[in-house]
Amino acid sequence: MKHFTGTILTLILSFLITATAEAGQSCATHNASDIKARASEYQTTINKYSKKYGVDSRIVTAIITTESCFKTKARSHKNAVGLMQLMPKTAKRWGVSNRRSVDQNIRGGTRYIAHLIKRFNGDIKLAVAAYNAGEGNVDKYHGIPPFKNTRKYVKNVVLVYSKLGGYKLRVKVKQSKRYRKKSQLRENERKKKVSKLDFSFYTTTLTTIKKLVPQG
């Protein structure tokens, strides 16, 4: 029953996310020249905020290409608005008062993806998945959520990023304190488990040897 309920919830979430993403009609399949031509009008703004928040401008361009195909008036069924399809809560979180403002929309979206890249320790795919499906879902599924549209979204963003010459490069970002701490805790736990296993193996082996060797 629990499995059935979980499946239903997953399907509902997938449907809602799909409805959200339909607004911009992604142009991820377009060639690099066309994408760059569409981005040219906003490139100065993209570069400005990419530099400010320490993120590769090609990632921002790839997200805009996938989210809205550079349609400034794009609006989804879930009320995501603008080039980077900001939801009201996301806009508020990142200090965007007017989601229809090109400058504010790009600023808010760039700041958000920069945060996600740091949060997920430089993993571009997880960061992009979180941009689409939410951070909570990436945490819940310990990776890219099993939503069909989210997986397609990640694939499209990566495709565009590759066309722009970005994905083959290792994106260097400073780990957030939160993730450094979590990574350290996980490493400590792993070492403890290994130590316990080693000790257990040692004692078991010693006991076996004692049984095999005649006492006298």
* Residue 148 structure tokens: 């069909």
CA distance 124 to 118: 9
* Residue 116 structure tokens: 């996600």
22, 67, 135, 189: the catalytic one is 67
The strand pairing partners of 81, in sequence order, are: 75, 86
Q: Active site includes 67?
A: yes
* Residue 90 structure tokens: 């996301």
Q: How far is CA 207 from CA 10, 139, 176, 198, 210, in A?
A: 51, 43, 47, 14, 5
- Rounded to the nearest 10 degrees, the angle between the axes of helix 148-163 and helix 32-39 is 90
* Residue 150 structure tokens: 């989210």
CA distance 191 to 124: 28
CA distance 57 to 63: 10
**Residues recognised as catalytic:** 67
